[in-house]
A and B are shown apart, each in its own frame.
Chain A
Amino acid sequence: MSAKRKTAAREIFALGAEAVVEGALLAGCSFYGGYPITPSSEIMESMAERLPRTEDGVFIQMEDEIASLGACIGASLAGRKVMTATSGPGFSLMQELIGYACMIEAPLVLVNVMRGGPSTGLPTSPAQGDVQQARWGTHGDHSIIVLSATDVQDCLHMTVKAFNFSEKYRSPVILLLDEVTAHTREKITVPLAKDLEILYRLQPSMPPEWYKPFEETVRGVPPMPPIGSGYRFHATGLTHDDHGYPTQKSDEVVAAISRQFRKIDQFFFDIQITDEFLTEDAEVGVVAYGSVARSAHLAVEQARERGIKAGLIDLKTLFPFPRAAVEGLLRRCRTVIVPEMNMGQISREVKRVNPGTSTVWTINRIDGHIITPKQILESIRKG
């Protein structure tokens, strides 16, 4: 890196997957552990090439997805910014360790390029079937941040965001892409790291004897020093007290889990990112994410040309669910349409936050084909 330090933003023609890698490197990712699976493998291949050439980058192909996430968690404990990428079956294998990462509050970024499922499903076809799994796939009650991206440029920026959130909130962050976004090639701008906001996990300022790795703080996020820096602590998946030691005492258990929820819930205004398009005077609303949001964007434009007051909310954050924005749309519109490439995983959330002011329609597609602007426009015209 040092020899050829880039001095200006670059324009490149890149796959969504490659844009993820650009974003990760800008954010300071220096560890990737992964296992190949379509349609996410391009992320891994690009990392394999790029990381060893960076200052302290480590790339390792592990024996499976469980091992990949395990290695990432270890490297995260050692102070690295880490990433792994996978797809349906691999994502399922990772679930136990996602819960573990939540419990020990290890920052990490997990990109899931969704494919059709269940099971081996439709390996190279677009789908959005892992939305609820990303939120609730592991066992137990936990908070988590789930993001998505609409186009290739967005892949870069949302990856940077994913790293920032994971560091800021000491939490795993899942970036859900669909095959269309990851495999589209577009011209994008790669900014310089200095022009971006890049966040790092909070470091302790107290002497090691005073440090408590899971202490209550104003933000609910305890500082996290790297292993080997003099702050020795215990990390366990068992419910633990603020020292990290296992506990079953009600007051300690409730305090620990509540803090983990609160550290994310109370900052929903920071985390819940949405893009609104012509929603101010909208009478028919669309809520979409990923590549479907691109189709929806065009559909809304075409509806406007036909005199229909349509508007779109493009969800960049899926969880915590951007309730405020969606509720606003539901209050304004007589109909809200939720097109998605699954049987209704985000429409479920939209219906949940509907104050009863509008009807929620769904467009569901599970045959491995994209949802076209035409399909959405037809629905808007009926709404």
Chain B
Amino acid sequence: MAPSARELLTRLAPDFPARHVGELYDDTTEFMRIGYGDVMVLGERHFLVLRDEAERRFGMEDPKYWVKRCRCLETGGRNIVKLVFHENFPMTIGSMVVTCTRSPRKETRILDLVRGDPRFMQGETIYDAADNPVRILDLVAGKRLDEKIEALEMPHRDYFHDLFPTVLERFIEACQAIKWLHDRNEKHGDVRRDHLYVLHDSGQYCWIDFDYTFDFQESPFGLDLFGLGNIIQFLVGMGQHTTQSISPALRAQITSDDCSIMFPNRIVNLQKLFPYIPLEMTNVLRRFSLAAEVYYDTAGELIDDLCRARQALGRNGI
């Protein structure tokens, strides 16, 4: 049985309720046993576990028992501590199933690569007593981009004319960050709109969570590009639009070619809903539609087209 954390907490966290004092762990292999009030010993530091992190998607909360919200007893700072959890799991994308793998060492490598780069979450890896690579992550001082967009209460036209040009500018920078990874033969692995944060201080976008990997040989960055496509659709549309969510009159104008190549009910040719979207932006969106004959091969190609769309917004006086 692991030793008690009582002495340590009495000394370093006297405010912590004594009845919740847990145990000390220097081996984090059995992460399911580690919970509120326990303390993880990692290198020279001690991390008091406050709770398990959870992912909130589609109105449901999915606990991540290997990801702990912690307080560092030495610094008093809050950290997210990711413990080692090896898993392969099927990811369903439209009608296809892709095998994803969670890789602590990939995330460790990328954290080292992006150190000091505000376009990516920051952190370091400390090896526990059992040599597990435990990632100590800084909390991202920002808010999820998709939540910010969804919280907007304004007509799409106003959003597109007033806010979207800045959103696009920032998103192009975020795409450049992904290209930067690809240029170094690394993939993000889990490019999703809820993995892109807006930093409070600078307004810059910041990617989080790089521990997924997948084995696509001929198109090693295909899933990242697909994720970028999903995000730009969401940003242009100020949310996601499906054939079920529009009026019957509009629906009559939508064909399968206007919808996502992967999700047949998701409208990607948003110009049909919002005619003021310039052709250059529509051309980008159509590359992700069922009508597409040529697909983006690199993030650089997508960035070039997004830059053309940005110029078109300027030409239209937006």
Genuine A/B complex? no
